[in-house]
Every structure is written in C-alpha cells, then in structure tokens.
Amino acid sequence: MSPAGNSIDSSDDPRSTDAAFDWVEDLLGGTIVERRLQARWRPHWFLTVRDQRGNDHRVMLRGFRNGGYLGDEVVTRAWLRREAGVLRTLQPTPVKVPRFFGYHDELDWLLMEWVQGDELLTDVEDDDRRDDLFREYLDTIVDLHTLDVSRLDLAPDMVAPPTPDLVLQGSLDMAIGLFRTAAPADPEPLLELGIWWAKTHKPQAPHETRLCGGDVGPNQFIFDDTGVKSMFDLELAHLGDPYEDLGLMRMREMCYPIGRLPAHLQYYAERTGSSLEIDALRYWTVIGMLTGPLWCWERVQRPDPLLPDQVPIFSWDPIYRRGLAEALMEIYDIALDPPAPLLPVETTRNRLHELLTGQVRDVYLPAADDPSMTFRLRGTLALSETVELGNTIGAQLERDDIDELGELLGHRPMTRREGLAAVEVLVRADPERDIERRLRCFHRMQVRHEFLFAPIQASMGFASNEPLARLQ
C-alpha cells in the first residue's frame, strides 16, 4: 500500500470503497467533506478533502474497470496499477498530467488531482479556438512521444516489445488470437479482409519505440480559459510506435469530430521535426480500426447483461467496423458512396416498443437514485430506442443488405448470413479481387448497421456515421 495504514474488510463491498475513503483521509491528512460518484462503467469518485487548516483539496479516486470483455478483474486491476505507475513517472516531465497522490496496492485505487476545467472540445463553437486548443494538446502528445524511455522509471512489467515485428503486430496478433478463440458463429468478410491487409502491409521501418498514451484525441484533455491543463486516461499507455496513437486518434475523431484533423496531424509531424509519414499512419489506422471489433467480438455476438460496459460496446463496434472499411477505401482510393438513411415504417409492434421505451424513460430512470444504476438505465433506454428503431427499419435494412450482397455475388442469397458466408469464401481465396466493389458493399452495409445503433451512440455522446477524415 502506498502509505501504510488501513486494515481491509471487503465482506460487504468487493472494492472496499469505505476503506479507500479512509486511506484518502490518512494520505492527505484531512476529512472528506464532499463526494460524488461519476455515472460510468467504472468507479470515479470526485472528492473534496478539507485539511486541518480548513483548506479544501479536490481529488479524484479512480477504481479499476469491471472485467468481462477485455479481461477479467485480475487484468483490469493490473491496468490500473500500470496507469498509476505511468502517472507517477510522468510527474517530473513536461507532459501535462494530473498530480499523482498515491496508489493503494492492496485495494487497487488510484488517487490523483481532480483537474478543474472542461473536456468537451467538441462543444467549443469557435473554430479557431478549438484548433488552438487541440494543437496545444498535440504539443503535450509530442512531449509524451519524445521522452527518452530509457530514462523513465517505468514498472518492471512495462517493457518494450523485443523486436520491430512485435512492435508492429503484437496487439494485432493478440486480438486475432482472441477472435479465433471465440469461434465466431457469423461470417466476417470485412474483418477477414482487414486481417489479411494488416498482415501483408507492414511498414518497412518501424519508428523508435516510445511511450504511447493508448487512447488520445478529442475530448481526452482538460482545458479552461487559460488553455490546456492536463491530458487524462492513461490506462492503455504502453511502449510502442507513436504512430499507433495517431491512428487511434483518427478513429476517436470519428466519435468526436472537431474538423481539420489532417492539418492537425501535419502540425504534429512538424513539431517532431519530420514530415508526416502517410503510409505508416494508414497502417496504424487500419490496425486501430481492426483490433477494436476483434477484441469486442465475443461481447457483441454474445452480450452479457451483467456487464456495465455492454451497451457502450454497441456504440463503439459500428464505428470501428465502418472505420475499417473507410480506412481501406482511403488506401485503395475509393470514393465513399453511403446509402441514404432508411425511413421508419409503422408496424403492429410500434405501440409495444413505445411502451417499453416510455417506461424506462419516464418511470425507472427518474426513480433511480444511485449513479451506477442511473448509468445502466440510460444505457437501457438507448437500447430500448434502438430496438424500437429496429422494429421500423430492420426489415428494410436486411433486404438492402441482401440485395447488395446479391449484386456482389451475381445471385441473390436467401439470407444475409448466407451472403456474408459466400463473400467470406471469396475474400479468403483472393483478398484483392474485385476490391472496389467488395469495399463499397461492406461500407454501405456498415453505414446501415450504424443507422440502427444511432440511439446508443447518441447516449454515449458519439457522432453517428461521421466519416473518417481523409489524409491530404
């Protein structure tokens, strides 16, 4: 335990939250006078601690992510410990991060500064100010990527991949292994095409291994009227190729569009003293788009109602899949040709779906007084809205997909699944044959799929069907 202290009784609370509060008070030498639990899929406590002199200190107590789709609780506790180690290591560097106060090694709670400000860059209406803020944030990312990792006091388990090939393909190989182990029940021709491309188009010269944030981009930093104050969310930090961060930044900008991203990436390259390496950036964009649905495949195909992350997963997955199609279309210089939104039609089930949505919205959600339950019910409301939308456009969506697959195959399949299976056979046999028609078909199908999940994406604050910003 970072400071010595409290005995632990976890009989009633597996996270021992009360013991963690006691630890915070002992560590800071004060009393918690205010506390607020953020309504999310992991515990974030915003605390105000009053010291013996009457001064208030605002801190955030961050807990480990629930296990269930990216690993079990042992894995998610390890992530939080790693994040704490990275945050501690970055304290004396130029990288703008929250102040680190301590880590409870036994309970796995991270205590850091509660940085005051706003993180919603997408809410900044003035284009020039939004650009200035994002470029100031990119300055911090450059500071992160240019640190000499040999001089950083990193945790023993945070080691650089031993070979350049593992730098390029380590995370991809793990994601593919998880995907294959899950034994997919449905054919996935787009993912198979992505796997083939990623394995056969590795950059010739990997960049020097650096400390990567793992999840950087819009709405991942705190700012105020004075400018950028701190980046945050380092649980996926690792040693790797800095262009991996840039590829994932392109995906994140699809969720939180800020505009002018290609110009911002050019600015990043200029700040590092080199030109923007387009081929490397396109490679890491594909890797970022591809590994997401591979990691999430099990929970998308076999949802777990007990998993707090379950509904959010359905907001990420469509963006990853469409992003993969768009990243490949960019590489092959294929123009996007998305279908028009489907128009809802009335069915005999409309009243029942409206009733379900109304009960969640007007009865259960207003009665919730626990932030964690409020978060879950908001997800349930979005899920209900998606089911209601599926009732009105689902049949047309299915017919349009089958028609598109039929045009690609030369005969109309009986079912969507039959068509996907037939196309997957063709992709495995000759991946690049008829690549333009295949990618157009995959992309249009993914756009339709995202129409269906727009309510869930809206509940997460994501844009829906925002295209990948193409490189110049």
Domains of the chain: 17-113 (3.30.200.20), 117-292 (3.90.1200.10), 303-472 (no CATH)
Res 9: pLDDT = 40
d(CA 16, CA 39): 18
**Residue 209 DSSP SS3:** coil
Res 8: pLDDT = 37
Residue 138 has pLDDT above 80, yes or no: yes
d(CA 145, CA 95): 10
The letter for the amino acid at 114 is: W
Tell me the CA distances in angstroms from 261 to 24, 136, 472, one per residue in order: 40, 14, 10
Q: Exposure of 271 by Cβ count < 10 A (0-12 exposed, 13-18 middle, 19+ buried)?
A: middle
Q: Across residues 234-257, what is the average pLDDT?
A: 96
d(CA 137, CA 159): 26
Res 4: pLDDT = 33
Q: In percent, how much of the chain has pLDDT > 70?
A: 97
Question: Which own/partner contact pairs does 430-439 have at CB distance under 8 Å and 24+ positions apart?
Answer: 431/193, 431/196, 431/197, 434/408, 435/332, 436/332, 436/334, 437/408, 438/189, 438/193, 438/408, 439/193, 439/325, 439/328, 439/329, 439/332, 439/334
Radius of gyration of the chain (CA): 23
State the pLDDT confidence band at 7, using cuts at 50, 70 and 90.
very low
d(CA 369, CA 380): 16
Contacts of 245 (CB under 8 A, 6+ apart): 141, 145, 212, 213, 214, 216
pLDDT for 420-466, tens place per residue? 999 999 999 999 999 999 999 999 999 999 999 999 999 999 999 99
Residue 184 has pLDDT above 80, yes or no: no
Res 29: pLDDT = 96
Q: Across residues 117-140, what is the average pLDDT?
A: 98
Q: Across residues 339-362, what is the average pLDDT?
A: 94
Residue 394 has pLDDT above 90, yes or no: yes
Res 12: pLDDT = 61
pLDDT for 251-270, tens place per residue? 999 999 999 999 999 999 99
Count, residues in the chain: 472
Phi, psi (degrees; rounded to nearest 5) at 444:
-65, -35
The highest-confidence range among 74-83, 253-262, 298-307, by mean pLDDT, is 253-262
Q: Exposure of 13 by Cβ count < 10 A (0-12 exposed, 13-18 middle, 19+ buried)?
A: exposed
Average pLDDT, the chain: 93
Res 427: pLDDT = 98
